[in-house]
């Protein structure tokens, strides 16, 4: 029977959900329905949620899994009465840390995901604007200000990766598409002239041609652009250029944007302007 997991918080619920999903992902053979319940910050809301949890237990025939990051002790006490298997993140980890550090936690709701310092917030905004302004080779004259320049064939994941790097780490990421316009007369892909002076900032993305064809088919069905032959040719030429020019690259086929970005940072040593929330 499928199980239900509740991620509960008196804030956004991002921490409870992130930790909960990471834990439950280790149990591939169990079907788990995941529900995030943010802003459970009053006793009335807590009691209402307990009623939902109890009804879920009856429906499933199994007690739900409850993972919470509730700060308020009274609200937490209400949730604790619910019929479920409870993983209380704060009480599990904060108490031992208080003992180790010799001080009490501030127990502040939403502290992890608050805007916090103005300079960090503005770094995030500027980095996102930079990624948008320099998407798809739009403004190559700003490449001297880029921390990294992602290159690759169309629809291999450059834009979402650039935006994730900006939003989560404050990294100024530009991206440039490799197209037929960058080929020699013999059809060989060459490094675009506009990128030549920025080779030390380049990072390539590649993708399985079958996956690329499927993605492009959603955009332009039954076109040369989405044909298997075209996708295979473009990917092969891009990878050959990466190797010839000693440009580091990663295959995005089976990785999430989070994994792509983290691997990229680890390989290049990019400086994070702030840590992700």
How many CB atoms sit inside 10 A of residue 123's CB? 18
Return the residue matching tokens 């320099």.
134
Return the residue matching tokens 């473009």.
234
Which residues sit in the known binding site?
152-159
Longest dimension (CA), the chain: 73
Q: What residue ranges in 69-107 does DSSP mark as E strands? A: 85-88
CA quadruple 220, 226, 230, 232: dihedral positive or negative? Answer: positive
According to the 3-state scheme, what is the secondary structure of 238-251? HHHHHHHHCCCEEE
Backbone angles phi, psi at 91, to 5 degrees: -70, -30
Which residues sit in the known binding site for ADP?
152-159
How many CB atoms sit inside 10 A of residue 30's CB? 12
**C-alpha closest to that of 79 among 108, 49, 36:** 49
> Angle at which helices 118-133 and 158-169 pack, to 10 degrees?
170
């Amino acid at each position: 029977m499928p199980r239900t997991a509740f991620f509960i918080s008196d804030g956004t619920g991002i921490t409870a959900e992130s930790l909960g999903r990471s834990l439950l992902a280790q149990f591939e053979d169990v079907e788990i329905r995941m529900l995030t319940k943010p802003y459970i910050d009053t006793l009335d809301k807590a009691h209402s949620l307990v009623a939902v949890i109890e009804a879920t237990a009856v429906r499933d025939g199994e007690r739900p899994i409850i993972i919470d990051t509730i700060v308020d002790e009274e609200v937490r006490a209400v949730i604790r009465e619910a019929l479920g298997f409870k993983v209380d993140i704060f009480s599990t980890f904060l108490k031992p840390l208080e003992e180790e550090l010799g001080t009490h936690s501030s127990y502040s709701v939403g502290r992890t995901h608050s805007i916090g310092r103005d300079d960090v917030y503005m770094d995030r905004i500027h980095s996102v604007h930079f990624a948008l302004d320099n998407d798809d080779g739009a403004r190559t004259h700003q490449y001297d200000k880029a921390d990294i320049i992602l290159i690759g064939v169309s629809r291999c994941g450059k834009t979402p990766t650039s935006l994730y790097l900006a939003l989560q780490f404050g990294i100024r990421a530009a991206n440039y598409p490799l197209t037929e316009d960058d080929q020699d007369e013999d059809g060989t892909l060459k490094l675009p002239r506009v990128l030549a002076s920025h080779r030390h900032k380049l990072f390539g993305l590649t993708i399985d041609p079958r996956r690329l064809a499927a993605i492009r088919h959603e955009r332009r069905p039954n076109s040369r652009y989405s044909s298997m032959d075209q996708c295979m040719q473009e990917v092969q030429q891009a990878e050959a250029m990466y190797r010839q020019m000693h440009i580091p690259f990663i295959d995005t086929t089976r990785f999430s944007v989070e994994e792509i970005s983290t691997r990229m940072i680890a390989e290049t040593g990019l400086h994070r302007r702030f840590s992700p929330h």
